[in-house]
Structure 1
Amino acid sequence: MFPSRLPPGVQATRSLAAHRDGMTPRELPARLLTRRARPRSLRARLLWAFLVPLAVVLAVVGTAATAAVRGELLGQVDDRLAAAVDRSAHADGGPRDGEAGDGEAGDGEAGDGEAGDGDGPDFLLVPGQGDGTLGARVVDGAVVESAVIGAEGDGEALPEQRVAVLAGVPPDGAARTVDLGSLGDYRVVATATGGGTIVTGLPLASAEAALARLVAVEVVAGLLGLLAAGAVGAVVVGRTLRPLHRVAATAGRVAELPLSSGEVRLAERVPAAHTDPRTEVGRVGAALNRLLDSVESGIAARQASETRLRRFVADASHELRTPVTSIRGYTELVRRRGGLPEDADASLRRVEAEAVRMSGLVDDLLLLARLDAGRELAVGTVDLTGLVMDAVSDAHAAGPAHHWRVDLPAAAVLAPGDAARLHQVLANLLANVRTHTPPGTTATTRLRAEDGTAVLEVADDGPGIPADLQPGVFERFARGDASRSRASGSTGLGLAIVAAVVEGHGGTVGVDSRPGRTVLTVRLPGATVAELEDDAEDPAVVPSTIS
């Protein structure tokens, strides 16, 4: 089947399906670590700039309000405590040790708290003292009696582990806050008397509960306020930035236009409503419109210049074909008549050779002009496998001093395209190897299909293309240096035609070169694989010799 189309001197091998490059599991964590943090949008930054100061203000106001209310509540407790201390001082009858002192403790007021009833100190259980009022007598640094008024109005003993706290209160008449464990915080005052020191206190539970409710209300109200402010701010910021989004959308649509070649019209503009110079967004929109006007004018001028140049090249190429053909015909006619001196015959041969070269150059220029003008290609199904074998056979006949090899898959690779132009692509690639590499160079043509894309490679082990020349290798009239000489008369248009034809098929072409290895790669979309029948001859088995 396929082998009969390959001449001797061409070696064929079967290619294996290439694996696509991908990340290994070891590379994934490093890739994740190297990713930069995602930047915040302008809307997010504006919302944060609004909400953070608002939260700080609410926190400061809440703290100040809580401190003020706490001071007011403590002042009220201290006023009631001063009254309780005064009642205790008037009702104090001395310690309960059987010594009546000056005998004034036996009146009726103190009688409500006689030592014999065992409910608490006599100065505590007097009319006017409220629930939770605390009283203790300290003698020689020790508490001799203490109690707290219960809900029923009678005295209840204090926990023994908290009595020592009361003994340490200085008798200076100043109000202090002490922690009495299960009883909570108390506001206490110690005053010196003739029988020692009495300590009077009032609970802070009600004040602390009021402060806790105030803090809870402040927190809930602050959070609700922040949420409401955030929602309103998001709506306001979104409406404010909407014109900027439209400006960005216009710029994005313009960026997606193919501006590199062809006739381009930039119909996109920022609406006039968003170009008000009195606003920041309006100034941006107006500047973008002016930029688009300038770009459109420049592109139109470039397109007109390119159109004139292409027309000139096409007309000149077309007009040159006739005189060049005439020169070739007349020189050939003169040579056939014979009878010319040897030097004249040699001159005519040189004239004919240069005419042939000029004819090829004119044909190449005309082809490029037609491709630039957007001439449609004749699209059909092309057997790339057979195309490769035909082109390599021709290259072997034209350059027997080189070693030609093919690396084909086990099945035919088909792709939509213009068969004549794709054959010219492959012929130019092989001619480039034959022209710019020394005799004895091995050139390998590979073909494979990858995910619906036909990949055609022409590799050689020649001297390579200098790195500084590789970016422009597919430009027109690109010339190499001495390492890839043009001794055979290269016009510098072969690879330019390759690039133009491949781009016309929607594909890509690339080069990878270093000393000892040069690979020109063509990728064509829409490839399919036609499986061979079971009795078809294996294309990998090809009788060949390396020439």
Structure 2
Amino acid sequence: MAARRSRSLRTTIVTSVVALFAVVLLLSAGVTTLLLHRALYAQLDADLRASSERVVAAMTMGMGHGPTGMHGGPGRPPGTAAQSLVLVAQPTGDDLEIVASEAVTLDNRVTELSDAQARRLLADADEPGAGEPRTVTPGDGLGPHRVMATRVEADGSDLLVVTGVPVSGVVESTRQAVLIMIPAGLLSLVVAGSGTAWLVRRNLAPLDRVAATARQVSAQPLATGEVALAARVPEADTDPATEVGQVGLALNNLLDTMESALTARHESEQRVRQFVADASHELRTPLSSIRGYAELSRRDPEAVPAGVSHALGRIESESLRMQGLVEDLLLLARLDAGRPLSHDEVDLTLLCLDAVGDARVAGPDHRWELALPEEPVLVRGDEARLRQLVTNLLANARVHTPAGTTVATSVRRGTEGVRLVVADDGPGVPEALQGKVFERFTRGDDSRSRSTGSSGLGLSIVDAVARAHQGSVTLESSPGRTVFTVLLPVDGPSGAAP
């Protein structure tokens, strides 16, 4: 099922208002048409009664019931109807005998009704309850008429007088009213829609400015470093008396809180980094001393017990390992502090050649492959740090894969920069570790490690060095295939010290 497409608040408000206005307009037009129809019929019935009274009065005054007697002078029906009908019938036993039936137009032209028209008119008008106006269609060219039957005595006879007026005027007036209301209603909808859109756009403009401030803040890098959230919602859009002002004021308060929290976080990070840098720097000297004294003791010509010699060897190896850990921590602290890197021209092909050669010596039980282009690949950067990056990637593959694993290193230049790839066919990085493999002190599980494990800083240094050169490092891993890809810009880190 396709997801429902969301609409903006502006579109929703305009659409809702126009739809509501259309419903109200439609109801108003329907009620107006109904009331107009009833009013016209009431007026028509009033004219019909007046016409019937005049015809009856003319007949009772002895003016006869011919065309001149029924329609001339005071007997002529009022109003502007196209024509009027008069039918006079006299009861004869159980039946009614039609005495006269005429249709008279406005210009006093009299036309006699056909026998079928008269019979139909008489039959409908003489039904029970026919004393009230009712609508009858005589047919044979005559449309619907509003008719009324009246009993009257004239010339000693009991007569039934049926008077009728056409309803075509009511129908035409109603039709014209509908024809007028349709374009007027459409024009009203257009005006209402345009006016609502303008008002909504004008009144939601402060909300757009609030959203622009939020977008400006969201575009800032907030993950690391010192963060200054200078963007704020303008004071004119923070009036707590309005809904939009409440949103703007809440956003400003949120930004103030965020800025305070980010400043406190940055200061805390700086203190930790400074502590790590100072501790690493201070530990270098005693560690060198411990290592030196252990080595010196082992070289003493006087014989020492085997246990003491073993202990001195362990002290020397562990101090060497701890010294490497301290050096790594110090390097990370310096990179975190943004220390400028060298901006020399580095031959990455030669650097990889040396690093793979050293890896063959350190890991003879692995198969080492190297794919280099025919032409040297030169980049701008810090040679010592880039060498450490390649060395750490190769050491990671050597330490965390079993013997016989093939480790392939390749370098190539592309349109996006220089790409360095170190791939192996080992067991792969566990899926749970892939998202945090470049975090500090992250170690592989025992099933991947061949030895007692590492400090967990090697890949962190790789990531830090790559980012210091404005590059990146990514990992793709599955059982039997692990690929580390380093992408470096050709021009090296911008703003680096010469």
Q: Is the TM value for this pair above 0.5? A: yes
SS of corresponding position for 1:133: strand
User: Which residue is equivalent to 1:208?
Assistant: 171
* Post-superposition CA distance 1:441-462 (Å, at most 9, x none): 2223355666525544433232
Residue 57 of structure 1 corresponds to 24
* Residues 308-333 of structure 1: per-residue CA shift (max 9 Å, x gap): 22112222222333333344445455
SS of the counterpart of 1:482?
Answer: coil
Per-residue deviation, 1:411:
7.5
Deviation track 1:20-42 (CA, whole Å, cap 9, x = no partner) reads xxxxxxxxxxxxx644312331x
Report the CA distance between 1:498 and its aligned residue.
1.1
Instruction: Report if the CA contact (8 A) 1:457-1:521 is conserved.
Output: yes
Partner of 2:132: 174
SS of match in other structure, 1:315: helix
1:267 to 211, 215, 230: 230
Which residue among 175, 186, 199 is the counterpart of 2:145? Answer: 186
Distance in 2, Cα, partners of 1:326 & 1:287: 59
1:384 and 1:143, CA in 2 relative to 1: closer, same or farther beyond 3 A?
A: farther
Q: Call closer, same or farther: CA 1:162–1:350 in 2, change over 3 Å.
A: farther
2:76 to 106, 118, 128: 128
> What secondary structure is seen at the aligned counterpart in 2 of 1:469?
helix
Give TM-score scaled by structure 2 length: 0.79
In 2, distance between residues paired with 1:169 and 1:192? 15
Deviation at 1:300, TM superposition (A): 1.6
- Aligned counterpart in structure 1 of residue 435 of structure 2, from 471, 487, 508: 471
* 516-525 or 293-302, larger mean C-alpha shift: 516-525
Structure 1, unmatched stretches of 5+, are 1-32, 93-103, 114-121, 529-547
1:37 aligns to 2:5 (yes or no) = yes
Which residue, out of 451, 467, 476, partners 1:503?
467
Q: Which amino acid in the other structure matches residue 109 of structure 2? A: D
Q: Partners of 2:141 and 2:349 in 1: how far apart?
A: 95
Q: TM-score, normalised by structure 1?
A: 0.72
Q: Cα offset for 1:374? A: 1.0
Q: Residue in 1 aligned with 2:457?
A: 493
Letter in 1 for 2:259: E
Q: CA deviation at 1:432?
A: 0.6
- CA change 1:473–1:338 in 2 (3 A) is farther
Specify the alignment match of 1:303 in structure 2: 266
**What is the one-letter code of the residue matched to 1:315?**
D
- Report the Cα offset of residue 166 of structure 1: 4.3
Given the superposition, is the C-alpha separation of residues 62 and 36 from structure 1 closer, same or farther in structure 2, using an over 3 Å criterion? closer
Amino acid at match of 1:133: S
Residue 253 (1) aligns with residue 216 (2): yes
- Is 1:278 aligned to 2:241, yes or no? yes
User: 1:499 deviation in Å?
Assistant: 1.4
Structure 2: where are the runs of 5+ without partners? 493-498
How big is each residue's C-alpha offset from its partner over 1:143-172, in whole Å with a ceiling of 9 and x where there is no partner? 999764456543458899988864662421
The equivalences for 1:369-388 within 5 A come to 369-379=333-343, 384-385=348-349, 387-388=351-352
- The 8 Å contact of residues 142 and 164 in structure 1, kept in 2 or not, is answered as no
In the TM superposition, residue 373 of structure 1 has moved relative to its aligned partner by 0.4
Offset from partner CA, 1:128-156 (integer Å, 9 cap, x none): 25533245689979999976445654345
Task: Spell out the pairing of 1:99-498 with structure 2 (5 A cutoff).
Answer: 110=65, 112=67, 128-129=76-77, 131-134=82-85, 148-150=103-105, 153-155=108-110, 166=121, 169-171=124-126, 172-178=130-136, 184-190=143-149, 200-332=163-295, 335=298, 340-341=303-304, 343=306, 345-379=309-343, 384-385=348-349, 387-406=351-370, 417-447=381-411, 452-485=416-449, 487=451, 490-498=454-462
Distance 1:249 1:111, change over 3 A: closer
Contact 1:138 1:144 in 2 (8 A): yes
The CA distance in 2 between the partners of 1:396 and 1:142, in whole Å, is 132
Q: Which amino acid counterpart does residue 40 of structure 1 have in structure 2?
A: S
The structure-2 alpha-carbon separation of the partners of 1:217 and 1:438, relative to structure 1 and needing over 3 Å to count, comes to same
CA positional deviation for 1:493: 0.5
Question: What letter is aligned with 2:43?
Answer: Q
Deviation per residue, 1:44-90 (Å, 9 max, x gap): 34444544444443333333333222222111111222233445557
Higher mean alpha-carbon deviation, 437-446 vs 360-369, is at: 437-446
**Separation of aligned partners in 1, 2:206 and 2:124:** 70
Deviates more, 1:412-421 or 1:310-319: 412-421
Which of 30, 44, 52 is matched with 1:77 structurally?
44
Q: Percent identity?
A: 46
| Mapped contact 1:125–1:155 kept (Cα < 8 A) | no
| Whole-angstrom CA distance in 2 between matches of 1:161 and 1:253 | 87
Q: What is the deviation of 1:483?
A: 1.2
* Paired AA for residue 50 in structure 2: A
**Cα deviation code 1:480-525 (max 9, x no counterpart):** 2211336266221101111112222333333343443333333445
The answer to which structure, 1 or 2, has the higher relative contact order (CA under 8 A, 6+ apart) is: 1
Displacement, 1:339? 5.5
Match in the other structure for 2:486: 522
Give the structure 1 partner of residue 495 of structure 2. Answer: none
- Kindly indicate whether the alpha-carbon contact (under 8 Å) linking 2:475 and 2:483 is maintained by their aligned counterparts in 1: yes
TM-aligned CA distance change 1:438 to 1:112, over 3 Å: closer
C-alpha contact (below 8 Å) 2:474/2:485 kept by paired residues: yes
Letter in 1 for 2:26: A
Is the alpha carbon distance of 1:112 and 1:289 closer, same or farther for their aligned partners in structure 2, counting shifts above 3 Å?
Answer: closer
| Pair 1:271–1:40, CA change in 2 (3 A) | closer
Q: Evaluate the alpha carbon distance shift between residue 305 and residue 111 of structure 1 in structure 2; reply closer, same or farther with a 3 A threshold.
A: closer
C-alpha RMSD of the superposition: 4.1
Name the amino acid aligned to 1:64.
Answer: V
CA contact (8 A) 1:269 1:289 kept: yes
Aligned pair in 2 of structure 1 residues 514, 461: CA closer, same or farther (>3 Å)? same
